[in-house]
């Protein structure tokens, strides 16, 4: 059973840890991000996090009800970083493109954390702010509510799905990732045209493109579809 989280005011009255650190939710999340970057999800536990912070692991439960709540807080932090500095400019398509690319970049900056959190719903303030922002852009552009919700759903899930996919590749060991990417030139480029005519015809293009994320292209396709729907609705 999760322990009750102590109020923020009660936390501030806590003395520094034995290493002289004054704990905060932000510090714990930042430390967890660093541990994920260095050791992957297998290296993140309350015991190890407490050791790095110089605190008894039980102290962490004053801030988070458990490791699952910390995981959601990490996802919330990545969403918040995507939102930092973003302001809608009034052109719905440009606004969504900018926000989508920001989400993708924020998650890819922390691949291990992205793999761990991209599928989670946090219910926290910055995630809620992101959802409100996307729906606001769409509704102000003139999309009916049903269409706005449908496009919002596709936009958010597409952004996070590509973040998880691309982060999964970045989270691999460098030699493994390079070996995977090299198959486009060492294997696909040499397939016989009589057996694989379409791959053989496009092999150089595949080798040049498949090492990069498809997210920007997929995002434009989604925006094209949404723009066509808005036009048909008379928006």
Residue 136 CB coordination number (10 Å): 15
DSSP label at residue 16: P
Contact 84, 195 (CB under 8 A): no
Task: Quote the pLDDT of residue 181.
Answer: 93
Q: What is the pTM of this model?
A: 0.86
Cα–Cα distance for residue pair 61/191, rounded to 1 Å: 56
Domain boundaries in the chain? Answer: 8-65, 90-232
pLDDT 10s digit of each residue in the chain, 235 long? 444 555 545 544 355 665 567 889 999 999 999 999 998 888 899 999 999 999 988 888 889 989 999 999 999 999 999 999 999 999 999 999 999 999 999 999 999 999 999 999 999 999 999 999 999 999 999 999 999 999 999 999 999 999 999 999 999 989 999 999 999 999 999 999 999 999 999 999 999 999 999 999 999 999 999 999 999 877 5
Task: Quote the pLDDT of residue 17.
Answer: 60
Task: Quote the pLDDT of residue 4.
Answer: 52
Query: Which sign, positive or negative, has the C-alpha torsion 13, 14, 20, 22?
Result: negative
Q: What is the CATH number of domain 90-232?
A: 1.10.357.10
Question: Which residue stretches of the chain are H helix?
Answer: 8-12, 25-39, 46-53, 67-83, 92-108, 111-117, 125-141, 145-170, 174-186, 197-209, 215-232
Task: Quote the pLDDT of residue 235.
Answer: 59
CATH fold of the domain at 8-65: Arc Repressor Mutant, subunit A (1.10.10)
Contact 104, 166 (CB under 8 A): yes
């Amino acid at each position: 059973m999760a322990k009750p989280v102590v109020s923020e005011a009660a936390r501030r009255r806590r003395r520094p840890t034995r290493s002289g650190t004054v704990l905060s939710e932000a510090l714990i999340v930042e430390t967890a991000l660093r541990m994920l970057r260095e050791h992957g999800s297998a290296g993140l536990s309350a015991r190890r996090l407490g050791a790095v912070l110089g605190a008894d692991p039980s102290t962490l439960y004053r801030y988070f009800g458990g490791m699952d709540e910390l995981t959601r807080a990490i996802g919330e932090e990545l969403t918040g970083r995507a939102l930092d500095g973003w302001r809608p400019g009034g052109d719905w398509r440009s606004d969504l493109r900018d926000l989508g690319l920001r989400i993708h970049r924020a998650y890819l900056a922390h691949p291990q954390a992205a793999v761990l959190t991209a599928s989670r719903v946090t219910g926290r303030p910055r995630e809620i702010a992101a959802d409100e922002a996307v729906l606001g852009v769409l509704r102000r552009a003139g999309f009916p509510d049903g269409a706005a919700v449908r496009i919002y759903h596709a936009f958010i899930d597409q952004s996070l799905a590509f973040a998880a996919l691309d982060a999964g590749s970045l989270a691999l060991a460098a030699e493994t990732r390079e070996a995977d990417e090299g198959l486009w030139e060492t294997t696909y480029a040499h397939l016989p045209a009589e057996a694989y005519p379409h791959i053989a015809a496009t092999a150089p293009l595949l080798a040049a493109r498949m090492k990069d994320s498809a997210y920007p292209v997929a995002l434009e396709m989604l925006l094209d579809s949404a723009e066509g729907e808005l036009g048909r609705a008379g928006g």
